[in-house]
Amino acid sequence: MTRAKLRGDELIAERHLSAEPERVWAAFIQPASIAAFWGGSHATVPAESVTVDLRPGGEFALDTRAPDGATRRLRFVYVSIAAPHELVFDEPVTGLRTTVTISPADDGTNLTVHQRRLPRELRTDQAADGLTSILDALDAHLRHQATPEQGAP
Amino acid sequence: MPSSLVAPGPDLDSMFAALGDPVRRALVARLTRSDATVGELAQPFGLTPQAISHHVGVLRRCGLIEQRREGTRRPCRLRVDQLSLLGTWIDDQRRAWDDRLDALEQHLTEDGAAR
């Protein structure tokens, strides 16, 4: 990954796939394919529940069905679409922004998923830096605590 | 992994909202060093105890800090376990996408074989 990481963004996943970029791209924008993989191994996505309005500001949405039958509707809004190499979408409910990057590689495709790891309230650089320093301080604090004080789990 | 593939959940929502305020982030950062009373927090921040109390209330309601009684003192203590949830949440995201990409890989393989 040669592109500089944006501050406040987190590399969530990287994968080499033995399929050409166009097919990987298609998998992300075709309802039947989205239904096939979006739920992972934990949920199923009924094919008829997937709607795709492929344009900036357009929505894609789907139902995930958990093994116990509980169904949740997930909604995402496309931010930018650069076929076949970059797809950016937001989840309005959480304020999460996901960037999927698809690039040609030896005998296939490299795929990366970045997420803006901070919800809306922490979107400014200042807020992101503030949280980072808190988490750094927390790390230091935990390292100095040889034994947890009373009440700590 | 929780079934919420992408949702942080209500606890985290209120925590993120609370941390959206710079004064509250600074209070949390200060409390990572040691416990402190409202009075002790007010001084270096140049805020009134009333203002600090308000922020402490928000942080208490979202579970990030707790206050205990020590005689007449009521020190605030950071709930490290709650703050750690922020890190856990990021890990959950990663697991969800790993799982999803496993399924994508399988889908592409089957799809390719069917051509």
Question: Tokens 């500001």 map to which residue?
Answer: A57
The answer, for A142 touching chain B at a CB cutoff of 8 Å, is yes
pLDDT band at B88 (very low <50, low <70, confident <90, very high): confident
Locate the chain B residue with the closest alpha carbon to A41.
B99
Domains of chain A: 2-146 (3.30.530.20)
**Other C-beta atoms lying within 10 Å of the C-beta of residue A143:** 8
- CB neighbour list of residue A97: distance below 8 Å, 6 or more residues apart: A79, A88, A89, A90, A91, A115, A116
pLDDT band at residue B6 using 50, 70 and 90 as cut-offs: very low
Q: Is A105 on the interface with B (CB under 8 A)?
A: no
Interchain CB distance below 8 Å, A134 and B32: yes
d(CA B27, CA B56): 8
Element (H, E) at A60: strand A59-65
- Note whether A108 and A20 are within 8 A (CB): yes
| Closest residue of chain B to A33, computed from CA coordinates | B107
Query: What is the assigned CATH class of domain B12-114?
Result: mainly alpha
A81 interface with B at CB cutoff 8 Å: no
Rounded Cα–Cα distance for residues B29 and A96 (Å):
24
- From B57's Cα to the closest Cα of chain A, the distance in A is 18
Q: Is residue B74 over pLDDT 80?
A: yes
Take residue B42 and report the two structure tokens written for it.
Answer: 């007010």
Mean pLDDT over each residue of chain B, to the nearest integer? 84
Averaged pLDDT of chain A: 81
Query: How long is chain A?
Result: 153
Is the preceding peptide bond at B8 cis, omega within 30 degrees of 0? no
B81 in contact with chain A, both atoms CB, cutoff 8 A = yes
Counting residues of chain A whose pLDDT is more than 70, the rounded percentage is: 69
- For the segment A111-134, the average pLDDT, to the nearest whole number, is 69
How do the domains of chain B map onto residue ranges? 12-114
Q: Which of A9, A22, A28, A42 to mutate against chain B (most B CBs within 10 Å)?
A: A42
Whether the per-residue pLDDT at A101 is higher than 50: the answer is: yes
Within 13 Å and on the Cβ side, how many CA atoms surround A85?
3
- Is A42's CB within 8 Å of B3's CB? yes
Facing residue for A133 by CB, picked from B1, B29, B93: B29
- CA dist B79 and B86 (Å) reads 12
Task: Give the amino acid at A29.
Answer: I
The letter for the amino acid at B13 is D
Nearest CA in chain B to A134: B29
Can you read off the two tokens belonging to residue A23? Answer: 């097919």
Give the whole-angstrom CA distance, residue B100 versus residue A135: 28
pTM of the model: 0.63
pLDDT given for residue B66 in this prediction: 94
pLDDT at A104: 97
Q: What is the rounded average pLDDT of the residues A111-136?
A: 69
Closest Cα of chain B to A66: distance in Å? 7
User: What per-residue confidence (pLDDT) applies to A26?
Assistant: 94
